[in-house]
Structure 1
């Protein structure tokens, strides 16, 4: 990720995609889980960024 704005856009995109895939294929489908894991990773990056930039 190049910057915070791109990170947040990617997070929002994955949230929408995860919902769409989960409704079509099921919440425990392989695709839903992969998207969920990537979303979790990006949310952790975002939390780390917030914690490192508190002022």
Structure 2
């Protein structure tokens, strides 16, 4: 489930956990490698956003 919120640290942390769970479930369900890479890239982007916010 996607959350719509401003990029605050709390909101990003929740979204990161959602995407981590999505990636784990997708891996367990043998999703194609290309799709796992897309999810991983989405997770990387969220982690980078969180890093930028917490540096401020």
Band the TM-score falls in, shorter-chain normalisation: 0.7 to 0.9
Name 1:32's counterpart in structure 2: 36
Q: Which has the larger radius of gyration?
A: 1
Residue 44 of structure 1, aligned match among 40, 48, 54: 48
Which 5+ residue runs of structure 2 have no aligned equivalent?
none
TM-score by length of 1: 0.78
Q: Greater share of helix residues, 1 or 2?
A: 1
Query: What's the CA shift for 1:14?
Result: 0.3
TM-score by length of 2: 0.77
Q: Report 1 or 2 for greater relative contact order, CA contacts < 8 Å, sequence distance ≥ 6.
A: 2
- Corresponding pairs, count: 51
Residue 19 of structure 1, aligned match among 9, 12, 24: 24
